[in-house]
Structures are given as C-alpha cells and as structure tokens.
Structure 1
Amino acid sequence: MKNNNNKISLCSLIKLAFIGLMTSTTLNAKILDFGPNVLTADPSGHVWKDGRMYVYVSHDIECQEDFHMKDWLVYSSDDLEQWTNHGPFMSLDDFSWADNYAWAPDAAYKNGKYYAVLPVGTGFKDRINPEKSTKWMGLGMAVSDSPTGPFKDAIGKPLWTKPYTNDPSLFIDDDGQAYLYFHAKGYDYHVVKMNDDLLSVDGEFIKMDMGGYTPKMEGPWVFKRGDNYYFTMPENNRVLTYYMAKSPTGPWEYKGTFMDQEHNANNHHSIVQFKGQWVLFYHRWINVSGSSCHKRQRVTAMEPITFNADGTINKVQRTD
C-alpha cells in the first residue's frame, strides 16, 4: 500500500481558537481538516512508543449515501500543530468477506505489532422499509509492523458474526490484558476479553453493571487515568457522557455529560494523554462551502480536556 508522507501545515488548513491552559503547554482547539476536500470522522487517538500522536479516522466521501465509506486514514504529529499525512492505512479491498461500511476504527500496540480493529459490513439498510434491510456489520482484526501500515487482515473473517457489531474500543490494561468494548445489537454495555495475540476473544461477552443507567449508546471509548477507569460514549448518539470505575469491567458509576450535542447530529470521540496534556478528539458537523450534496459534513476536531482532583471530567465547550 502506498503511503503519502506529505507534510501539512495546519495553519493554512484549520480554524484556530484559544481555549486555555493545560498541564504543560497551551493546546489550541482546532478543526483538523487534514487537507482540501478531506472529510474525516470517528477519530481514535493514540501515542505509541515513538512519542508521536497518531489519529486513525474514518473517511467520509462527499455525496456518499448512508455512510457507504471505503477506507481509513491515519495522521501523526509530534506537536499537534504540524501533521504528517500517511494516507489510507487500509481499505475495504483488503477484506475478502466485506464490501461496505468502513466505519469507526480503533488501534492498539502489543507484542511488537500494531493492531487495528475495524468495523466493516455487507448488504444495504432500507430506511423506508426496515424489514427489507440486509445490512450486516462485524469486526475485522488487522496487523502491521508499522503504526501507519500497511495493515493486513489477520484472520480472514470477523471476530464473530453474531451479534451485529460496530464501534469498537480496544483497551489494554497495565497488566497487558486487552478488553474489547463495542456497540452491538442487543449487546450494548458488554465487554469481552481478548487473547494475548489480539486475534481472538477469550471467553463470553461480559454484561457490565452500569449502575442502573443504560441509555441508547454508540461509540464507546475506554481509558485509564491514575486509579480510575473511564467508560465514555455518545449517549443517544449525540451527547458525550461518562462513567467511572476501579476495574475495566465495572461496576460503573454514571457521572454525566462532558460535551453537549451539536446540530442534533452524531458524535464519536477518543481521549488520550499527550506530553502531559489530555486531549479530546471528536468530530463535528460544519457548513462546507461548495458541497452539492449536504449542507453539513463531518470533520475531525480536538479540544483540551481537564479533570478535577477527584477524577471527574470538566465540561468541554466547543469553540467557534
């Protein structure tokens, strides 16, 4: 797979807004368009062993119908200002068992390899006559020697076929145990342990105790800060909310909203620490001039995110 390693100056591509101070240096809130006419969403941020920030994103195609997306992109930076475009790290053509819906990615590093967990699917969703829908989605596992790829389908099939699944979040705890969280039909608020090779699951799905609060969820993101584990998600596909626990499998305590909805549109996010700062990557829907299809389109953005002494998250306000 060909990588495009062109440097991009965000000064000419993004809208800048000063939002405040974090632990070490000032982090500016940004809309990260990553280049002319490049529409991205569902950002998964990771800092790997080289200390750089890598952001894996899904790739919207202008005028696409019902999110029929074809590949995933990755960008990296050592200062969150200048970004390197590594091009597509994988596409639907790399999966023999799927042909549509290249949706929200996640990634992990373990055993000297880089792993991508990718939701892909087949069929068609009939929104007018749902009973005629044939759409199906599952999770593929891909592996690479490099954080930017090329990645290859590692198992030649989905991790499982039932339930219908997307929006994976792959979290590796301090002891090396990996946990896979996901959005699934009839299996929301479940987690499954992964085997050490990250190519298969270990045991059954675990239904987590969410403290009695289980609204409609999508796009979970799990991380650890100090002794606290955080389960975050777009509640009702719109509002970013979170839970806290002392274990990666709960029991979880609901803590509320840390980012309100915008334009009554979906959101998908990740939260990661970079050089002493905590960063929220998310997508927003903005007006795009010249579009012949959609009034608003999705772009990746980032904001600083801060915590109180007790570990709770301060409300994040979007900047203009």
Structure 2
Amino acid sequence: MAKFYLKFGILTMGVLGIISCKNEQEKVEDFPVEPQSEAEVLNVSSEPLITDNFTADPSAHVFQDKLYIYPSHDYYSGIPEDDLGSHFNMRDYHVYSMDSVGGKITDHGVALDVKDVKWAKRQMWAPDAAEKDGKYYLYFPAKDKDDIFRIGVATSDNPGGPFVALPEPIENTFSIDPAVFKDSDNEYYLYFGGIWGGQLQRWQNDTFEMEDAYPADTASALKPKIAKLNSDMVSLAETPRDIQILDENGKELTTGDNERRFFEAAWVHKMNGKYYLSYSTGDTHNIAYAVGDSPYGPFTYKGVILKPVLGWTNHHSIVEFKGKWYLFYHDSSLSGGKTYLRSIKMTELKFNDDGSIRTIDAMVSNDGIK
C-alpha cells in the first residue's frame, strides 16, 4: 500500500504496463524516454468508485468476465500520524466487483479480518489476488507479533470471498505490497517490497535488522523483489531476487534519483511480448514505469504514468477489460485531503503510436480546474 513515509525524513510528500504496442516487432529501446510536454499530459477527473467506505491501493483483475477490485480499507483508528505510517492501521479487506465500466459496483462484504489471521497483529496494507484452476488467492501484508511485515495468503472458492487465511505467512517473504503476475506460460510470480515504513531497507543478507540501512545517494537504489510461486500458489519456488531498474544508459537508478527510482507498489503487466513494471516513486509521488524482456527484468525506465494525486500517497494497478486498458488509483478527494482516508478511482489509459503510455494528471476537479 502506498503510505505516508519518506526515505530521507522529509515530510514534504506532495500530493499524490500495460502498453498497447502498435507493432509487436518494435523494440523496447525504441520507446521514448524523454518527459512528455504539458500539452501531451492527459488531464482527467474521476469520481470515487466507493463512497460508503474509504478505500486505497486498488488491485484490479478480471475474473469470471467481471472486474474485481481488491483494495485496502482505510478508517480512522485514532493513532497519531507518523513517518512509519502507523496511522494506516487497516484491519480488514472488502472486495468489490462490476460487470461493466461505469456500471453498478457490488460490495462483497468483509473478505478477511485481521482477527482471523493467526500470525498477524495489525496493519493489513495493500493486497492483491490471483486465480488458478478455479481457486482464488488473496495475498496481503501484515505485521506479525514482532511488528515485522510478512506476506500472507488466504484462499476462497469465490473471487469475492470470504477468504480463509493460512496459519503462517509465506516463508521467506517480508516487507509489503504483494502483487502477483500470471505469465502467458501459466507461471505465477510474486512481486513485493516497500521502503521506509515498508521495512525493505531493514532486510540485509536475508535478516531483519532493527536499524534502517540505506544506500548512499550515488549508490544503486533499493530494489523491488520477485520470486516465482510454486504450483500450490502459497509458497515460493525460489529465494526472492532483486529487480534491476535501469536508466536510458543501462545504469541502475540511484538512491538519489527520487523522481524515477522504486519506492513501493510494484505491478507488472505483459503486452506484445514485453513486460511492464510500474511502481510508485513514494516520496515524489509518481507512478512510473519501466520495460523489460523478462518478468525478472532488468527493466529500463520509460516515464511517468500518473502524476502526484491529492493525499500524499500514490498506489495503482493496471488491467485490460473488454479491449481497453484501465488505470486504478486512489486519492483523498472524498475526505478533503486526509492522507489516511483515501478513495479508489479509475480512468482509461491512453497510448502513443509507439506504444508508450500517455502521462495522466488526475489533480483536477470535476470542472477540469486544478
């Protein structure tokens, strides 16, 4: 889940794929990497999809010919705000679905509650879901009894839940923001990781350290993780690996490259044989994307999908539905800008002829005025 924390202790959090490649033979390196001009940026204004609950970090999938959305559930817990996101004390998940874009949205009720997860103590942040052989899997982060984030999994025979959690988290998982990608060969991959309150910076040599450890600004940035899932969908087939994100010269993005480097919220889609990794830059609040030839990467940075939104966090998902691509995201417009009371939204993605993604600016009101 996109959260309210900053790597450098700077509390200036600004507010706040997948690609339709026209030619399957087009090379990734031909995609432009220059920033788009303001004239090329798409200004959009979307209404919250859910108004009776505060929802964030939407993971969208097409199951049973419907759009299903798996968000986190914001609520006011009374915990004071801090850098580590303690006030994001989510305790359950709801699942939502719709038959068509703009159609009626069904709330399937509480899909999973922290009290029903034996190993979890608190803070059920951004989840994701997957389907295999008619069974549905809900992947979620939560803090265990030692206040260390782990990633759990729950199962159901229905995409809307309710889900039953396994008694232990997935072995060798840690940090936050699980996202599961199903490749065209029916292999499944788990992506995860988030910096600062997400604790990724505390994992050194596969061991959790109580003190934060960040690379120097000029060193390679901390990286998201990937591991192939076993056929049982509830265990890892390998030790999690780092994912390289490169600049236009083939160099790894550095810690100090705040506008482009990974912070949290990894999401992967495949289009025309290419893999698109999108993610939040966290303390600069962009949803950025990079392109590669393998689910493991390396991925080359290409640009910004979504500029900062109202609310100081940015977290998304991207899905194709009935021939069009859609971006799901959140902002704090419904709560008047409260960072911990967000609402999920969606908008159609637009593409340039070369397959690059049109940058979206969602910081507009209903009349189109920022």
CA distance in 2, matches of 1:29, 1:71: 29
Query: Scaled by the length of structure 1, what TM-score is found?
Result: 0.80
Deviation string 1:178-206 (CA, Å, 9 cap, x unpaired) is 11111151463221111011110011122
Letter in 2 for 1:172: K
Which residue does 1:56 correspond to in 2?
70
Which of 159, 165, 172 is the aligned partner of 1:153? Answer: 165
Which structure 2 residue ranges, 5 or more long, are not aligned? 1-43, 80-86, 195-199, 202-221, 247-251, 255-260, 366-370
User: CA distance change for structure 1 residues 35 and 298 in 2, over 3 Å: closer, same or farther?
Assistant: closer
Give the drift of 1:231: 0.4
Identity %: 34
Q: Is the 8 A contact 1:288 1:296 kept in 2?
A: no
Q: Is the 8 A contact 2:54 2:341 kept in 1?
A: yes
CA RMSD of superposed structures (Å): 2.1
User: Are 2:89 and 1:45 equivalent residues in the alignment?
Assistant: no
SS in 2 for 1:220: strand
Which residue does 2:253 correspond to in 1?
213
Letter in 1 for 2:266: P
Which residue does 2:95 correspond to in 1?
74
Which residue does 1:299 correspond to in 2?
343
Deviation string 1:265-286 (CA, Å, 9 cap, x unpaired) is 1111000011111110001122
Deviation string 1:197-251 (CA, Å, 9 cap, x unpaired) is 1110011122223221252411111111221211000113511000011211112
Give the drift of 1:296: 7.4
Q: Is the 8 A contact 1:287 1:295 kept in 2?
A: no
Q: Which has the higher contact order (CA 8 A, sep 6+)?
A: 2
CA distance in 1, matches of 2:192, 2:345: 22
User: CA distance change for structure 1 residues 84 and 136 in 2, over 3 Å: closer, same or farther?
Assistant: same
Q: Is the 8 A contact 2:182 2:189 kept in 1?
A: yes
Deviation string 1:25-84 (CA, Å, 9 cap, x unpaired) is xxx953325233x10000000001x21000111111125421111101111111122111
Q: Is the 8 A contact 1:170 1:180 kept in 2?
A: yes
CA distance in 2, matches of 1:200, 1:295: 34
Which residue does 1:204 correspond to in 2?
239
Which range is displaced more, 231-240 or 260-269? 260-269
Letter in 1 for 2:331: R
Which of 169, 182, 190 is the aligned partner of 2:179? Answer: 169
CA distance in 1, matches of 2:345, 2:360: 13
User: CA distance change for structure 1 residues 202 and 94 in 2, over 3 Å: closer, same or farther?
Assistant: same
Q: Is the 8 A contact 1:286 1:297 kept in 2?
A: no
Give the drift of 1:160: 3.0
CA distance in 2, matches of 1:263, 1:232: 20
SS in 2 for 1:248: coil
SS in 1 for 2:264: coil
User: Are 2:274 and 1:228 equivalent residues in the alignment?
Assistant: yes
Which structure 1 residue ranges, 5 or more long, are not aligned? 1-27, 124-133
Which residue does 2:117 correspond to in 1?
95
Which residue does 1:20 correspond to in 2?
none
Q: Is the 8 A contact 1:144 1:150 kept in 2?
A: yes
Letter in 1 for 2:101: L
Query: Scaled by the length of structure 2, what TM-score is found?
Result: 0.70
Give the drift of 1:135: 2.9
Letter in 2 for 1:113: K
Which residue does 2:156 correspond to in 1?
144
Which of 272, 290, 293 is the aligned partner of 2:319? Answer: 272
Q: Is the 8 A contact 2:55 2:74 kept in 1?
A: yes
Which residue does 1:285 correspond to in 2?
332
Letter in 2 for 1:177: E
Q: Is the 8 A contact 1:58 1:104 kept in 2?
A: yes
Letter in 2 for 1:317: D
Q: Is the 8 A contact 1:257 1:315 kept in 2?
A: yes
- Give the number of aligned pairs: 276
